[in-house]
Amino acid sequence: MTSTARFSGKNIIVTGAAAGIGLATAERLLAEGARVCLVDLNEEALDQAAQYLASDVLCVAADVSKEEEVKAFIDTAEKELGAVDGLFNNAGIEGPLTEIQSYNADTFRSVIDVNLNGVFFGIKHMLPRMAQRGYGSIVSTASIGGLRGWPRQYAYTATKHAVVGLSKAAAAEGGPHGVRVNTLAPGGVRTAMTEAAMRRVCPEDPNKAERRFSQRVPLGRMARPHEVAAAAAFLLSDDASFISGHTLVVDGGQIEVSG
């Protein structure tokens, strides 16, 4: 049985924490005893998240695509909370759904800046500190789109594949120093980002897009954020003490069973 206090005394940073998977993960970590630093670009949404959580959380507004801001929120977390035990690189954007000939190069770079560079900066500035202390867990959100190709999702798919590879390289470096690095690969999750995507795909009836997607999932539905949060918490916890360089798929069986 998992202890409800398995994160007691642990300090964990969650990016993209104001909504969706990030907020659900922060809620899970707090319930299990962690001290949590919430990081998000949207300061107003951060305030709302803190009110929702009704807990003593540290909130830092930051843009993960800017290296100096990533270093700054790690510095702040360590100053205010103490040594950081876990980092959940969760912030990400989808980018447009469009044919490759119409994909704007600047937009492509902007998705890379958040989805890939944001993870790189987090690992760059967190792994050496953890390695020096001899422990730590870093989890980054990839996607099942990082394990296969999706039409019209060029930047998103490319960055999520890269997050998987980046994390494996970091796991190889961090392992000898007691630092675990893993990725999380959710399938469809009912968040504001996916709801917006469904409205673009099927503006006349967004629920139709969800039903169509769910038909490809053996469990017959999309995930809810708390279900992915449970997997993130597992990888961050000592329950996963011998798991590193791994990509944990949370997709209701979509790619593993139905292809």
Query: Who contacts 98 (Cβ-Cβ below 8 Å, separation ≥6)?
Result: 152
Catalytic (active site) residue 52: no
* Contact present, 51 and 17 (Cβ < 8 Å): no
Question: Which segments of the chain belong to CATH 3.40.50.720?
Answer: 11-187+224-249
Q: What share of the chain is helix, strand, coil (3-state, %, to 5)?
A: 50, 15, 35
Q: Which residue has the tokens 């139905």?
A: 258
Q: Which two tokens stand for residue 216?
A: 């490809």
According to DSSP, the β-strands at 58-61 and 247-250 are unpaired
What rounded mean pLDDT belongs to the chain? 91
- DSSP letter at 89 equals E
CATH match of 11-187+224-249 with 3.40.50.720: yes
- Residues 54 and 65: their CA atoms lie apart, in Å, by 29
What's residue 1's pLDDT?
Answer: 38
The verdict on pTM exceeding 0.85 is yes
pLDDT band at 259 (very low <50, low <70, confident <90, very high): low
Catalytic member of 103, 135, 154, 156: 156
The per-residue pLDDT for range 169-221, each reduced to its tens digit, is 999 999 999 999 999 999 887 776 666 666 666 666 666 666 776 677 788 88
The closest of 72, 65, 67 to 91, measured between CA atoms, is 65
Count the Cβ atoms, other than its own, within 10 Å of residue 20: 21
**Most confident region among 54-58, 121-125, 143-147, 203-207 by mean pLDDT:** 121-125
pLDDT band at 244 (very low <50, low <70, confident <90, very high): very high
Q: Does residue 258 surpass a pLDDT of 60?
A: no
